[in-house]
């Protein structure tokens, strides 16, 4: 994929991986649409990205999402690439964690990202082209202690992406699930604790992790190469992700099922 001239929409674009993706996409000639809750921080990212469209909103607000989707498509007439990136992490034991923490993390990291995607797939499928990038996590491949809500959401996002990849396999729309390990962002500081409060401090592993701009370059290079599962990690985290990597042959098997009428047969039987 050549990113020059493409329109890319990123949620969670005000910092971290989202901001790094925006800057790297702009450097490769893409037009970027930036979404997040903090318009001032989005504007700071936009200052590095040339011509941009800012669409600030809360991803949990369905009406705001629908309005933003219409504006995103209307800006240049299409959206070529979408990154479901917005998310909140967690640092608390399951035995001590309020149920509301689970609801809040799943609402942002899973349900809202599905809603974001559902608003775009019809547009992309009708055009016969597009790419969807889902920012999961190594914690979406391997259950990691102190992150039960986060793991549930990120595993769920990966499952949605895998099923969607099969459904869209004959449309020209590609689906890429991205599994970052420790990337140097504010993810630990912004993580929720057992009572839903923001943690406010980082982890050494995150502080010493892969620079966000380096991670973004790998993600975009791998999407351009057509890689369906993208593991962005080092050391033990990379080894864990690779142990759980889905074989390409399995993705091909599901795509072949769809090509041979699997969905139509199920619909006819209903």
Diameter over CA atoms, the chain: 54
d(CA 133, CA 1): 13
Q: Which two tokens stand for residue 133?
A: 């990038």
Going by C-alpha positions, the residue among 186, 192, 237 that lies closest to residue 89 is 192
* Burial class of residue 235 in the structure, from the number of CB atoms within 10 Å of its CB (0-12 exposed, 13-18 middle, 19+ buried): exposed
CA dihedral 68, 90, 107, 170 (to 10 degrees): 70
User: From the candidates 3, 150, 160, 179, which is the catalytic residue?
Assistant: 150
Please indicate whether residue 150 is annotated as part of the active site: yes
Write the CB contacts of 26 (distance below 8 Å, at least 6 apart in sequence): 32, 48, 49, 50, 52
Please tell me the distance from the alpha carbon of residue 7 to that of residue 86, in angstroms, as a whole number: 18
Extract the tokens encoding 107: 């609402």
What are the angstrom distances between the C-alpha of 160 and each of 74, 75, 145, 166, 167?
27, 28, 23, 10, 11
The DSSP result for 244-261, as a single string, is TPPPHHHHHHHHHHHHTT
Helix (H, G, I), strand (E, B) or coil at 118: helix
**Hey, which residues are catalytic here?**
150
């Amino acid at each position: 994929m050549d990113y020059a001239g493409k329109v890319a929409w990123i949620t969670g674009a005000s910092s971290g991986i989202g901001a790094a993706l925006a800057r790297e996409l702009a450097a490769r000639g893409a037009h970027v649409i930036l979404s997040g809750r903090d318009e001032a921080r989005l504007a700071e990212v936009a200052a590095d990205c040339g011509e941009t469209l800012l669409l600030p909103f809360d991803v949990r607000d369905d009406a705001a999402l629908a309005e933003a989707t219409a504006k995103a498509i209307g800006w240049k007439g299409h959206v070529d690439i979408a990154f479901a990136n917005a998310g909140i992490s967690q640092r608390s034991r399951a035995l001590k964690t309020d149920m509301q923490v689970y609801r809040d993390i799943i609402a942002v990291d899973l349900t809202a990202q599905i809603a974001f995607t559902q608003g775009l797939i019809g547009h992309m499928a009708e055009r016969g082209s597009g790419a969807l990038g889902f920012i999961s996590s190594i914690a979406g491949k391997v259950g990691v202690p102190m992150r039960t809500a986060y793991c549930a959401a990120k595993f769920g996002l990966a499952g949605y992406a895998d099923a969607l990849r099969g459904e869209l396999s004959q449309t020209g729309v590609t689906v890429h699930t991205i599994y970052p390990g420790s990337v140097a962002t504010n993810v630990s500081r912004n993580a929720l604790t057992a009572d839903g409060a923001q943690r406010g401090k980082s982890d050494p592993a995150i502080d010493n992790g892969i620079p966000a701009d380096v991670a973004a370059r790998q993600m975009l290079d791998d999407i351009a190469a057509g890689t369906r599962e993208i593991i962005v990690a080092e050391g033990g985290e990379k080894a864990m992700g690779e142990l759980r990597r889905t074989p390409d042959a399995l993705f091909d098997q599901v795509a072949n099922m769809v090509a041979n009428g699997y969905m139509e047969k199920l619909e006819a039987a209903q």
